[in-house]
Amino acid sequence: MADADSIGPVSARPGFAGPRRRLRPVVGKARGILRESLPELAPSDLVLVACSGGPDSLALAAVAAFFQHRKAFRVGAVVVDHGLQEGSGEVARQTADALRQLGLAPVEVRTVRVVPGSGGPEDSARKARYDALAAAAVEHRARAVLLGHTLDDQAEQVMLGLARGSGTRSLSGMPASREFAGALLLRPFLPLRREETLEICAVEGLEPWHDPSNDDPGFTRSRIRHRVLPFLEAELGPGIAQSLYRSASILAQDADFLDQLAGREFTRIAEVGADRVLLAEAELNALPTALRHRVLARAVVELGGAQPSFERLRAAESLLRRQGSAGPVQLAGKVSAYRQARNSGPSYGKLVLKRLSQSQET
């Protein structure tokens, strides 16, 4: 199941490019949201829409096409064929044809190979998709890549984070903007509801494909969408999705600020080597817990590891008390942490985070 919108073919009904129509409020709203989310662009600058053919990304493509017709900037599209469904190649081809009918150029289909990983099929498909989008952004020198996630997607993402017991960064949901392959990765439609993208498609004479896997209860996101959120609406009253979106927006600001502070502290106290990071214990201990955990996590990521869990961070933090074991404590991504037990050597008084060598891994 896709984490944004459906995967499938789409068609434009006859008359799409017909007589000038009165602007519908939802279309005007979407155009305003998109324009405000974009950086300053020249007519020659290219923006790529990641379009699956589902209602969210198709509506985004139609709204972006308006600016291409006005020659504000160029708009192209990328359709990623994951090859996970029977007939996915034909689905991708039809989607690309519909995007060309909207006037987008270049439009290309990128077929990817989804390699199973520890994060499950959805995570593996997502990684393959973003790799393909990054390659397209670099090849076409795009200024921005647009994704069609909506407010409803953000609410579901926050619920997933709550179910996993995640921290501030995860509960802040998907970022509206981040750097990506020399461009910006933007989610301009986060303030829009899913029903509004369906309305945009109807207004623009477009028929999106609805991926049946989005209704498959075998996927956690699908159960949140069709069972959990409707149950909460029924029991707690309407507006749950909007409340979760609002909470994510507030938490994103907090997480950005804490990450900025932690980055400064990491720069101040960390000694970064080829395969290890040394953190002064006294100065690390003096930090508030929220910053200390972030500095530890930054050291792990600096060594090529993944974001450690709360439990692993607490285990590494326990080394600072100099009681019991000196480690090592295994962290995410084959990175371990330990403290120098003896009062000798340059690493004494410092927490050592080290990346395992290939020989150690095997």
The four Cα atoms 73, 78, 79, 82 give a dihedral, to 10 degrees, of -150
Is the peptide bond preceding residue 55 cis, with omega within 30 degrees of 0?
no
What is the DSSP code (8-state) at residue 205?
Answer: T
Is 208 flagged in the annotation as binding? Answer: no
Q: Find the largest Cα–Cα distance for the chain.
A: 82
CA dihedral 79, 85, 91, 96 (to 10 degrees): 10
Which tokens sit at 186?
A: 């933007």
Is 55 marked within a binding site?
yes
Is 54 part of any known ligand binding site? yes
Compute CA distances 132 → 70, 213, 312, whole Å.
29, 22, 32
Give the C-alpha separation, 95 to 355, whole Å.
44
Q: What is the Cα 311 distance to its own chain's centre?
A: 24
* Helix 151-164 × helix 229-236 angle, to 10°: 90
Q: Give residue for tokens 């285990």.
A: 315
Q: Contact, 207 vs 53, CB < 8 A?
A: no
Token pair listed for 167: 């921290």
Residue 5 marked ligand-binding = no
CA distance 170 to 159: 10
Residue 320 · residue 284 · CB < 8 Å: yes
Instruction: Say how far apart CA 220 and CA 160 lie, in whole Å.
Output: 8
Question: Is it true that the peptide bond before 230 is cis, omega within 30 degrees of 0?
Answer: no
Say if residue 56 carries a ligand binding annotation: yes
Closest by CA position to 1, among listed 244, 307, 285, 223: 223
Q: Using DSSP, state whether 15 is helix, strand or coil.
A: coil
How far does Cα 349 stand from its chain's mean position?
38
Residue ranges for the known binding site are 52-57
Residue ranges for the known binding site for ATP are 52-57
